[in-house]
Amino acid sequence: MAVTATRAKFGVFFLGILGIVLLVIGIAALSLLPIIFNAKLQENLVLQEGKETYEKWKQTPIPVTFKVVLFNITNPAEVVKGKLPSVEEVGPFVFRQYRSKDVLSWDHEDLTVTYNDLKRYEFVEEQSANMSSKIYSLNLPLQGILMFIKKLPYFPRSLIIPGLEGILKNYEEHVFSHRTAKELLFEGYKVDLIQDLVDLASAFVTVPEILPNNTFGFLYGKNNSGDGIFTVYTGLDNIAKYSQIVQWNNMSRIPFWGNEYCNMMNGTDGSQFPPPIQKRDILYVYTPELCRSVSLVFSEDVAVQGIPALRFVTPDYLFESPINNPDNICYCTEKEFCHLSGILDVSPCRKGLKLAVTGPHFYLAHESIQERVHGLKPEREKHETYVDIEPKTGIVLGASRKLQMNFILKSYSEMEDFQNLPFSVVPLLWVTEEAMIDSKNAALFTAKVRTPITIAKSVLTACIVLGILWIVTAGIGTIYILVKEQKTASAVLKSKYKVVPTKADERIKS
């Protein structure tokens, strides 16, 4: 069948209209894609029974490695005489950490869920140092007893101290203990003198429980336990509230700092963040070990198992002294420490025990703190805390959380063995919690989240390109038809109106 001019015009017109339709659909759909994605994300990400993401929220699919490094005091006898402590690392002691959430209740009016955050540990012997290694560490149970006695009025204190010194000699308890790593960590060890001290002090004052089961270990009682009971928003009404903490241990504000600002619990528990995440965002995590919320700021773009992510780190100003960061004035418990950066005295939430948190090896701590302990070498690459977050979903793809627990050591003139102790922030241990999504879950995430978005963008981009191509083709076709019609019309005119001869012989021939 011959292609007539009319059919050609109709074909070009149809191609142009189809190109315009494709172009409009592609641009509109591409513009609406983020809105559609966020709506679908909210539908699937919110905490609601029966959803796949809810099950992964309950049972963390990302494997977590928990590492502990203990500090051995290499010169304990010299420290008792007034010299500064020297330390060496012993470890790491590696554990697999399994996290789960025991859901306790739902509030369908406030759209919150309450759960107990549980952690279980399994020792990884082949990756660890010898658990039988003996370590000189500060005798924390004894320091706890001294903290209690120091707060007593002068009269009962003067009666208790002579008896206490005799009991310490009988039990051979000193400023530093000499215990195995196994005893210092989860297993713990019995502190036999505790009961005698309780009996001695009970004659004068009411004595609170000093140690559970009269047993001490830095991590004693931590296995199969958690950081407390959390209440968080489900995000059902607003994805921006997703996983944000409402209460911790039935408190909407913590009671430790005597200041409304510092007692606020901002952010999440650190396992998830409300999407989307942007580089300019400041993220917050409530950390029970620190008894406060901490902030995270963008550091760099990274890739985790091939998935683009944003790395957020704890900013240098987080533990700055109030002189440099006035927002930290409410965390200053003693004036003598207020000018020091990089240290947080957590004694208000540790029953008065003078424990302090710093970065490992006093990373970012004031030089006067670093100078009073020998054997430490802070390094950003080894000791910085970071979280890698997939920005569209707010899912944590990888993290490395590091902190060091220390004791603020001071002399105590009323007891002979403690009279000459130097002022020092003595390192006890530092821990690392590391997690990174494995290849299986990374592939699943890519297939369910990234691939559909990539395909949708590719299809819509193709629609736009094809639409433009068809419009251009239709335009060229239209021009071609018009030119051809013009030439045809000119030829017809020439055939109808030929040139008349001017000479007589030409007219005759004609």
Which pLDDT belongs to residue 35? 72
Under the banding of pLDDT at 50, 70 and 90, the label for residue 152 is: confident
pTM over 0.85: no
When pLDDT is averaged across residues 223-229 and rounded to a whole number, the result is 87
Residue 411 tokens, joined: 């002399």
d(CA 442, CA 450): 10
Helical H runs in 136-290? 140-150, 154-170, 181-184, 193-202
Strand partners, 388: 311, 398
Q: Per residue in 496-510, is it b (16+ CB within 10 Å) or e — as a string?
A: eeeeeeeeeeeeeee
Checking if the pLDDT of 278 tops 80, the result is: yes
What letter does residue 492 receive in the DSSP assignment?
A: H
State pLDDT tens for residues 446-498. Answer: 777 766 677 767 666 767 776 677 677 766 767 776 777 677 667 766 676 65
State pLDDT tens for residues 346-376. Answer: 888 887 788 999 999 999 888 889 999 999 9
Checking if the pLDDT of 231 tops 50, the result is: yes
Residue 395 tokens, joined: 């899912």
| Mean of the per-residue pLDDT values of the chain | 83
Cα–Cα distances (Å) from 11 to 18, 311, 402, 477, 480, in that order, read 10, 54, 68, 9, 13
When pLDDT is averaged across residues 20-49 and rounded to a whole number, the result is 72
When pLDDT is averaged across residues 63-88 and rounded to a whole number, the result is 93
What letter does residue 416 receive in the DSSP assignment?
A: G
d(CA 335, CA 425): 16
Checking if the pLDDT of 22 tops 90, the result is: no
Checking if the pLDDT of 49 tops 90, the result is: no
Which pLDDT belongs to residue 483? 73
d(CA 88, CA 82): 19
d(CA 274, CA 391): 10
Percent of the chain with pLDDT over 90: 32
Residue 355 tokens, joined: 């424990």
d(CA 191, CA 173): 9
- DSSP output for 61-73: -S-EEEEEEEEEE
Cα–Cα distances (Å) from 70 to 106, 384, 388, 409, in that order, read 41, 18, 27, 17
Checking if the pLDDT of 510 tops 50, the result is: no
Which pLDDT belongs to residue 311? 95
| Residue 345 · residue 333 · CB < 8 Å | yes
Which pLDDT belongs to residue 502? 55
Residue 460 tokens, joined: 């819509």
State pLDDT tens for residues 296-351. Answer: 999 999 999 889 999 999 988 888 888 888 888 888 887 777 888 888 888 888 87
